[in-house]
Amino acid sequence: MRALRILLIVAVVLGGLFVAADRLAVGMAESEAADKIKSSEGLMETPDVSIKGFPFLTQALSRELDEVDVTMNGVTASSAGRALRISRLTAELRDVKLNDSFSSAVADSATGSAHLGYDDLSEASSEGVAVGYGGRDQAGKSQVKVTAGVSILGRTVKRSVLSTVSVAGADTIRLHADDIPGDGIPGLENLVRGKIDFDRKIDGLPEGMKLDKVVTTQDGVDVSVVGRQVELAG
C-alpha cells in the first residue's frame, strides 16, 4: 500500500508538471500569435489571442488546434478607397489546421463580429455625410440616420433621412433611404440620394469569410461574419 501511495503521489506531481508545462507553452504560443497579428495589422494595441483545448502540446504536435479566439481593437480596413476604422473585431476559429512551417492555417469554420462606430462610418462616407443611430423600422430592419447637404439653385440644402442598412453580397454593406423629401425642388431627391445611398465594400476579409448580417445599436453598427475553410496567412 505504501508503494501504491508513493506511485500515486509521483503521478500527481508529474501530472502537475505536465499541466504547468502545457500552460506555459500555450501562453507562449498565444503571445507569439498576438505579436504577429499586431505587427501584420499595424495595431496600436496588442490583440487578445486565446487557444482553447487541452492539452495544447499534443495539438501543436499534430498541428491541429480545436479553437482559437481572437479579439482586436482599432483595426483599419479599406472601403471604397477610404479608410474604415473597426473599433472592435472578434473571431472564433474552429478546427484550425496549421501547415508544416506554422506560417499559415486553414480553419474549418469561423464566426465573428465587427463593431463600427458612427463617427468612423461618417469618416468612411462621402464628404459632408454624417451617420448616426436610426433604430429599427416597423419590420424590424436595422436603420441609421444619414444627414447630407447638397448645393442646388445656388443654395445648400441639408436633409436627414432614415436609411436601412443591410448586407449586399459577401463583402458589402448597403445603405438605402426609402424616402427622401424633395419639397418640390426639381432634382433634389436624386442629388441627396446620390450622397446618402451607397454601398461600402469591406476589403481584406480572409478567404472563405463573408458578411452575414448587420444590426444597429445606439453606439454603432455590429456586423457579423461567418466562414468555412477560412485561409489565414501567418
pLDDT category of residue 212 using cuts at 50, 70 and 90: very high
β-strand 155-167 against 64-79: which pairing, if any? unpaired
Which pLDDT band holds residue 9 (cuts at 50, 70, 90)?
very low
Burial (CB count <10 Å: 0-12, 13-18, 19+), residue 48: middle
> How would you write the chain as a 3-class SS string?
CHHHHHHHHHHHHHHHHHHHHHHHHHHHHHHHHHHHHHHHHCCCCCCEEEEECCCHHHHHHHCEEEEEEEEEEEEEEEECCEEEEEEEEEEEEEEEEECCCCCEEEEEEEEEEEEECHHHHHHHCCCCCEEEEEEECCCCCEEEEEEEEEEECCEEEEEEEEEEEEECCCCEEEEEECCCCCCCCCCHHHHHHHHHCEEEEEECCCCCEEEEEEEEECCEEEEEEEEEEEEEEC
- Work out the mean pLDDT of the chain and round it to a whole number: 79
Task: Write down the pLDDT at residue 222.
Answer: 92
193 — pLDDT class (breaks 50, 70, 90)? confident
Cα–chain center distance at 132: 20
Q: What is the mean pLDDT of residues 186-213?
A: 77
Question: Mean pLDDT over residues 183-195, rounded?
Answer: 67
Taking only the tens place, the pLDDT of each residue in 83-128 is 778 888 888 989 988 887 777 788 899 999 989 899 888 887 777 7
Residue with cell 458612427: 118
pLDDT of residue 175: 82
